[in-house]
Amino acid sequence: MCEARSIRHAEQAAEEKPRSVPHRGTALPTPDDPGRLPSPWWVPDNGLHSLEQELHRELPPEHLLYGARVHAAARCEACDVVLFRVTDRPLPWAVAHLTWGGRQEQYPWPRATPLATLNDLLAQHPSHDGAIDS
């Protein structure tokens, strides 16, 4: 009985820990787990919906993410881009640099890069210098 309680307590404690873990060695995230991205990527406890709303406000009709079903998954503190899971396009991930203008932008803003995997994210943006390819 006590052992079962200890296991439940450990599981609850694990759930309460931040989902972002520091990068250790060459370990890469699993394809569907943005919570395992290295620092400075992080998964906010709340506020993800506001990132999705801002993206949709900013997208002009010719943008590759216009009309896409997206879910904010993580944010980078170093370069202020947001990782989105895209559920209805050929590539399942995209990073976007929001302008926070609260209105529709002119193409190519918000700048976005489609990604096949989270490993592509780390390969394309290893320095976190804020450079996002269109």
Domains held by the chain: number: 1
Type and span of the H or E element at 119: helix 118-124
Host domain of residue 111 = 20-124
Residue 12 lies in a domain: no
Residue 14 lies in a domain: no
Residue 77 lies in a domain: yes
Residue 26 lies in a domain: yes
The per-residue pLDDT for 45 is 74
- The DSSP string of 24-66 is -TT----TT-GGGPPTTEE--SS-HHHHHHHHHHH--TTSTTT
What CA–CA distance (Å, rounded) separates 12 from 26? 28
Residue 42 lies in a domain: yes
Does residue 108 have a cis peptide bond before it, meaning omega lies within 30 degrees of 0? yes
Residue 130 lies in a domain: no
CB 106 within 8 A of CB 60: yes
- Mean pLDDT by 10-residue block, N- to C-terminus, for the chain (134 residues)? 39 38 42 77 81 96 96 88 94 94 96 92 67 41
The model carries a pTM of: 0.70
Residue 131 lies in a domain: no
Residue 76 lies in a domain: yes
